[in-house]
Amino acid sequence: MHQVFSMKELGFISYFLGISVTSGSTTVLSQKKYAQDILLKAGMLDCKACSSPISVKPGLPRHSDEPFANPPMYRSIVEALQYLTITRPDISFAVNQLYQHMHNPTVGHYAAVKRLLRFNKGTISHGLTYTPSSFDLHAYSDSNWAADSVDRKSTLRYYVFLGSNLISWSSKKQATFSQSSTEIEYRSLAHTVVELAWLGMLRQDFSIVLPTVPLLWCDNVSSIALASNPVFHSKSKHIEVDCHFVRDRVLAKKLVLHYIPTIDQLADIFTKPLSISRHSYLKDKLNVSFSLHSLQGNVKDTPPVSLVASFTSLGCSRSSKLQLLP
């Protein structure tokens, strides 16, 4: 590293851009102080906690369609919550939904913000846990076809693990419409394979040899067949050519596709509102757990959301900042 970059050795990291790093037998990244500052900004530091970030059957408050009286406050809180997803991928879906109403938030949208803040209150010490593991690379790809009730556009989502550790995730809303669930699942596969290819090049830069071929899990049988069998080309003419490089990598044995039941699909937490028990189960599978650490700094030291780009450029996965809008 010293041969390539001009840098100094500062010892073990403990706090960086609002992220606390607790090291021991495991390493935990958390943002407890930053989450507290968000609650303080919203005036909800002493609010009552709730058990899930978004309701499966939301009960809308009265006059929920009326414009929210303080749009700048809504935008400021949601942008801060976006930065919080760096160590809290379990709230990414809720933040994704809130981020799509930044221009014209309503009373109902702000009610959803308050519910998410109440959930963060109850899980304020949670963070991403990393343990010694293998260099096996595997990913989970999923999508929600035409799930947006307003524009009927779909969202592509994936998680990438190195061994048992989550290292990259993304949520990207499509700019165009998909004609079938197979098409959007196939596009989601392509979106995930791009990330796996980039991680493969990064691995080569560090001279790390993967013990196995990267494994990609998908819960759509038709899209797996489309990616594995060239005979189905006539049924996919409407899909852009750049998506078909998934098939090329599978045939070249640079990637293995496997079916996974929806009940075991970890990316399901990015797809739709979940029950309390289901959300808790998937959160544990993502290694988001309770962390004990001391608070550092004060309110004025809290990094602005604009520092996400700096954080990414200093070594984080390029997908840790979610792509929430097309």
Segments making up each domain of the chain, as ranges: 15-129+287-313, 133-266
Q: What is the DSSP string of 25-51?
A: SSEEEE-HHHHHHHHHHHT-TTPPP-S
Contacts of 90 (CB under 8 A, 6+ apart): 53, 126, 269, 279, 282, 283, 286, 288
pLDDT per residue, tens digit, the chain (326 aa), is: 788 888 888 888 888 888 888 887 888 888 889 999 999 988 888 888 888 888 777 655 556 778 888 889 999 999 999 899 888 888 888 888 888 888 888 888 888 899 999 998 888 888 888 888 888 888 988 877 655 555 567 677 888 998 888 888 887 776 666 666 777 788 888 888 888 888 888 888 888 888 888 888 888 888 788 777 766 555 566 566 666 778 788 888 888 888 888 777 777 676 677 777 777 777 777 778 776 554 444 433 333 333 333 333 333 333 333 333 33
Would you say domain 133-266 falls under CATH 3.30.420.10?
yes
Give the count of alpha carbons within 13 A of 99, CB side only. Answer: 20
User: What dihedral angle (degrees, nearest 10) is formed by the CA atoms of 97, 100, 106, 110?
Assistant: 40
- pLDDT score for 271: 67
Strand, coil or helix: what is 110? helix
- pLDDT score for 303: 38
Give dist(CA 240, CA 224) in Å, integer: 17
